[in-house]
Amino acid sequence: MAALQRGRCVLQTASLFRITLLGACSPRDVARRGVLQPVGVRWCSGSEDSGSSGNYLTRFWNRMRGEKAAEKQDNGSGSGQGASSGTAGNGMIVVKPPEDRFRKVLAVELSRRPLMPGTAIPVVVNNRKMIKELQELKNASGQAYVGAFLRRPEAEQLQQQENEPGSSLWLSSTGGGMEIVSPNLKRDAASHLFEVGTFAQVHMILPNEGADPAQLLLLGHKRIRRMSVVNSDPLRVTVQTLKDQRHDNDDEMKATMMEIVSTMRDLFHMHPLYTEQLKTLHSFGIGANLNHVSRLADIGAGITSAQDVVLQEVLEELDVPKRAHVVLMLLKKEIDLVKLQQQIGKRVEEKISKDQRRYFLMEQLKSIKKELGLEKDEKSALIQKFREKFSKYEDGAPKEAKSVIEEELEKLSALEPASSEFGVTRNYLEWLTSIPWGHFSKEIFDVEHAIQVLDEDHYGLSDVKDRILEFMAVGLLRGTTQGKILCLVGPPGVGKTSIGKSVARALKREYFRFSVGGLSDVAEIKGHRRTYVGAMPGKMVQCMKQTGTSNPLVLIDEIDKLGRGYQGDPASAMLELLDPEQNVNFLDHYLDVPIDLSKVLFMCTANVIDTIPGPLLDRMEVIRIAGYLASEKRWIARKYLEPQIKEATGVPEGSVEMHDDATDVLIEDYCREAGVRNLRNQLEKIYRKAALKLVKKGAKGPKRQEVHSHQKGAGDMEMETSDEEGAASTAAETSGTSPSVVDEGLKSVPETEPPKEATDKASYDGAPIVISAKDLADYVGAPPFKSDRLYATTPPGVVMGLAWTAMGGSTLYAESAVVEKGAGKGSVTCTGQLGEVMKESATIARTFARSFLFSRDTDSDFFSDHSIHVHFPEGAVPKDGPSAGVTLVTSLLSLAMNKPVAPDLAMTGEVTLTGKILPIGGVKEKTIAARRSNVKRIVFPEGNHRDYEELADDIKSGVEAHFVSEYSQVFDLALGHSAEEARANGPSTV
């Protein structure tokens, strides 16, 4: 701080971290405004104050050595200022202590540090009444005095407790202690302040422009004790002046004083902030009394950074030797803190200097090598490559990605290529700059185009196609196809995966497929941490890099077969990936930068939905694909499969003819599953054997074409194209490149000659091979089964049921037979690899059949005296489900009544102990299975009537469905009447 020149009033500012002058005014502005009072301020000549901080130190130590005349004071008295004044020989305006006249003073609250006698601190005061009264005192008498008291640290907590309902705590203190007084007594307005404070002169009042009314600059004089409260607004208290206890000025005291002075001198030389504090003290003339131990200890405590409570204890201590000892300890601790600060600063400065020096040397080295051509700067080229790659997507990249890429590029430029971290950073930047941030491919919503694409790729599946077209129509109206996750559920081979590819082609979206069947590692979805060796990002990041767009169609295959291992739960990780509310900021562990996946169209495939976790299934819209009828399979085989297989096997057109009856037998006896994958395999086997027969009969493969070349200056030369040239031509056709472009690389082909194809198709001139139904055994062997119907006429105890499996619908027989007969030997044994649900159904069926038979024939003891064995054929196939209850009851009653069931009748449904028929699932699959087995009548629960009505007419063709709600209706259809009567009396016939 600059001192005021040419005899003007000097006011030094406090230290940077402990005392700050108030307001935005400089000392010269303050002096110009006239707010400084001449009382207690030292007047200095310009030559005295214009020197450096060394002048202050010199005058300070001169006072310590007694070279200046000391003022005559009593032991323990301070340099207070009173109402009357005189001029001392050192140029100070000396006033008498005013504390004897002021017994009632305004109480100023100090929030952090107590005011030590002989020091000055700024204080913010919020009470406008107090500021107004102080201004009036300053204007009237030129002086204003207050009592400065530190706020107790516990006051805020107790204030909160007091504000709680039913609480009325208040503080009482004696000396430095504090206690909670009974809530029945009244709390005074100053109980939140320490009792011992400082009698202080208001040296300056600076009004504020903000919310706080004013700021005060207080000069401490004497220790005081608060006695009582006069009024609370503004807070005014009665005080009593405290005097230091008498002490002997012995050698120990002198040594303590000298050590304090020495320590303070070390502080002044070690850190410039303490020198600034010394200037402030000197500007107020406080240094004149530093030869007294009491004042020296107070000033020493005031310049330390000790805690508020510790300084309050120093303020309350009246034993001067003890106070001096405590202050000496605080000063020593301050020395240690300054040394530690210097060590930290030195270490930081050395590190910065070392890094800067290394950076400058490295830059110089690179420049020298570049100028001399000794080394190619591959690192700079690599960084330039990353910047060029990212420049294409920089406009659409989020701020987080831009920031991370820039930081990694700077990091890469500072790393050595030989370091291991260089490779990690390089791979990280490869992925970051390869992602198409904000780059989207343009999709189309042409419904006519979508219908054409779906019909080209798939036959049938009208309900599935309609749902996909509805999905696209909604996307057209909304402008986006987001918001729904389609899940295609059906047996294997029905075309779920190929439907997803067709949808991508119809929308003109990039297609990406990955299978999660058996996936047990969460890192496959969310990526590895970069700290691991060989870390890679997740599938979605790989998808975006591979497709080059941020809105591809992603097909997640086999989602019902997700695994779970020690690496985590992938199904839970799928939630963040598929949920439209979460994937806006999808976080890959490898990239560690949010990626927007909200524009990605997700489709999933599954065979069953039972194993899909509920929260994951809840986010999907399920589209079921039941399978194909025999007529649909025949059309698919003719229109799609056979042309593809002929081309794949190289069979010439018209050389093999497969009759319709052979196709029908192949479908009925060899390929009964819901899908067409096995049908394709069987057709491939047939055409492979046919190809062998064609070769034996003289079929020829594709001919090699000869390409003639004419070179200038040489004779005509014939040159046969090599295999590599033929492969190049084939590759050109596949990629859509003009053959002439490929032929330009062949020097032997002149540009004037038209290009010729390198290969031709196979040829066959003999009679075509005809494949009929009777020839199938020679091509694909004997059929694995003739029919789903094991019985032409069903014996008593045998009933045909309908079942649904992951492979589609199928018929399932329930067989019952008597094992032995005897009183009390009634029991049921079940076989056929049954699950727990079907075992329970068998127990319920026996109980209900016994009750039902007893209601029809009270004398019958069949179930109590006969041991019955119930079996479901094909025991190698697991079976489970509740829909076999009706079939089991009918089988047991048929056995008990020794009456067969009609062979063209099949049934399904869950039965209760009271005979209620509950609805089941898989109506479409079970209807298709019944038609495949030539079943004419089907018994369905009444609750499935609507599901049956929604089936296509070609599926329901030739089938008569009966809908029942009570088992008595099933009994009438199966055992109670003839077939004609059952059709006439059925409760509901379609």
What digits encode the pLDDT tens for the residues 38-73? 333 333 333 333 334 445 445 554 554 444 334 333
How many Å is the Cα radius of gyration of the chain?
Answer: 50
Most confidently modeled of 88-97, 176-185, 852-861, 903-912?
903-912
Looking at the fold, whether 220 and 260 belong to one and the same domain comes out as no
Please enumerate in sequence order all residues whose Cβ is within 8 A of that of 207, keeping only pairs 6 or more positions apart, or say none: 131, 213, 214
Looking at the fold, whether 581 and 678 belong to one and the same domain comes out as no
Q: What is the pLDDT of residues 630-672, one digit of tens each?
A: 788 888 888 888 998 988 888 888 888 888 888 888 888 888 7
Domain at 161, CATH number:
2.30.130.40
Which pLDDT score is estimated for 807? Answer: 66
In a domain, 601, yes or no: yes
In a domain, 327, yes or no: yes
Q: What is the pLDDT of residues 795-852, one digit of tens each?
A: 899 999 888 776 667 888 889 998 888 887 888 888 888 888 888 888 898 899 888 8
Residue 408: count of CB within 10 angstroms of its CB = 18
Which pLDDT score is estimated for 789? Answer: 63
Looking at the fold, whether 69 and 105 belong to one and the same domain comes out as yes
In a domain, 638, yes or no: yes
Most confidently modeled of 263-272, 340-349, 748-757?
340-349
Yes or no: say if 911 and 884 are a contact pair by the CB < 8 Å rule.
no
Boundary residue ending a domain (586, 605, 624): 624
**How big, in percent rounded to 5, are the helix, strand and coil portions of the chain?**
45, 15, 40
CA distance 76 to 244: 5
In a domain, 734, yes or no: no
Asked if the model's pLDDT at residue 628 lies above 50, the reply is: yes
Looking at the fold, whether 606 and 465 belong to one and the same domain comes out as yes
Which pLDDT score is estimated for 963? Answer: 93
In a domain, 785, yes or no: no
Number of domains making up the chain: 6
6 phi-psi bin (left φ>0, alpha ψ -120 to 50, beta other): left
Closest to 874 in 3D by CA, of 964, 810, 938, 943: 810
Report strand pairing: 196-207 vs 214-232.
antiparallel
Please enumerate in sequence order all residues whose Cβ is within 8 A of that of 732, keeping only pairs 6 or more positions apart, or say none: 738, 739, 741, 742
Which pLDDT score is estimated for 604? Answer: 92
Yes or no: say if 401 and 389 are a contact pair by the CB < 8 Å rule.
no
The four Cα atoms 911, 915, 918, 920 give a dihedral, to 10 degrees, of 30
Question: What average pLDDT does the segment 120-133 reach?
Answer: 86
Lowest mean pLDDT among 37-46, 234-243, 669-678: 37-46
CA distance 525 to 516: 9
In a domain, 840, yes or no: yes
The token pair at 672 is 């009964």
CA distance 704 to 796: 70
Lowest mean pLDDT among 25-34, 341-350, 404-413: 25-34
Question: What average pLDDT does the segment 890-911 reach?
Answer: 89
Please enumerate in sequence order all residues whose Cβ is within 8 A of that of 895, keeping only pairs 6 or more positions apart, or say none: 796, 797, 816, 817, 818, 868
Looking at the fold, whether 202 and 339 belong to one and the same domain comes out as no
Which pLDDT score is estimated for 555? Answer: 92
Helix (H) / strand (E) containing 732: helix 723-735
Domain extent at residue 938: 798-984
Domain at 682, CATH number:
1.10.8.60
Question: What average pLDDT does the segment 710-734 reach?
Answer: 38
Boundary residue ending a domain (432, 457, 476): 432
Looking at the fold, whether 153 and 14 belong to one and the same domain comes out as yes
Yes or no: say if 185 and 176 are a contact pair by the CB < 8 Å rule.
no
> Could you tell me how many residues make up the chain?
990
Which pLDDT score is estimated for 939? Answer: 92
Asked if the model's pLDDT at residue 88 lies above 80, the reply is: no
Yes or no: say if 865 and 947 are a contact pair by the CB < 8 Å rule.
no
In a domain, 845, yes or no: yes
CA distances to 36, 960, 963, 971 from 986, rounded to whole Å, are: 115, 11, 8, 11
CA distance 464 to 810: 22
Tally the C-alpha atoms within 13 A of residue 848's C-alpha that lie toward its C-beta. Answer: 25
Report strand pairing: 707-709 vs 866-871.
unpaired
Which pLDDT score is estimated for 76? Answer: 36
Yes or no: say if 324 and 253 are a contact pair by the CB < 8 Å rule.
yes
The token pair at 560 is 């019902």
In a domain, 789, yes or no: no
Asked if the model's pLDDT at residue 437 lies above 50, the reply is: yes
Question: Would you place residue 472 in the very low, low, confident or very high pLDDT band (cuts 50, 70, 90)?
Answer: confident
Q: What is the pLDDT of residues 923-958, one digit of tens each?
A: 888 888 888 778 889 999 998 888 888 887 878 888
Looking at the fold, whether 810 and 685 belong to one and the same domain comes out as no
Question: Would you place residue 728 in the very low, low, confident or very high pLDDT band (cuts 50, 70, 90)?
Answer: very low
Boundary residue ending a domain (745, 780, 815): 780
Sole residue written with tokens 């006072």: 63
Domain at 479, CATH number:
3.40.50.300
Looking at the fold, whether 208 and 307 belong to one and the same domain comes out as no
Looking at the fold, whether 285 and 150 belong to one and the same domain comes out as no
Q: Which residues are catalytic?
A: 883, 926
Mean pLDDT over all residues of the chain? Answer: 75
Q: 487-505 burial, b for 16+ CB within 10 Å, e for fewer?
A: bbbbbebbbbbebbbbbbb
Q: What is the pLDDT of residues 544-565, one digit of tens each?
A: 888 888 889 999 998 888 877 6
The token pair at 634 is 């025949």
Peptide bond into 234 cis (omega under 30): yes
The token pair at 366 is 């690179």
Q: Could you tell me what percent of the chain has a pLDDT over 70?
A: 74
Q: Could you tell me what percent of the chain has a pLDDT over 90?
A: 6
Looking at the fold, whether 815 and 962 belong to one and the same domain comes out as yes
Most confidently modeled of 17-31, 86-100, 143-157, 509-523?
509-523
Domain at 880, CATH number:
3.30.230.10
Yes or no: say if 411 and 383 are a contact pair by the CB < 8 Å rule.
no
CA 292 to chain centre: 68
CA distances to 641, 700, 780 from 692, rounded to whole Å, are: 20, 12, 14
Q: What is the pLDDT of residues 610-622, one digit of tens each?
A: 888 888 888 888 8
The token pair at 113 is 């540090």
What's the whole-model pTM score? 0.53
Looking at the fold, whether 174 and 309 belong to one and the same domain comes out as no
Please enumerate in sequence order all residues whose Cβ is within 8 A of that of 50, keeping only pairs 6 or more positions apart, or say none: 3, 5
Looking at the fold, whether 494 and 616 belong to one and the same domain comes out as yes
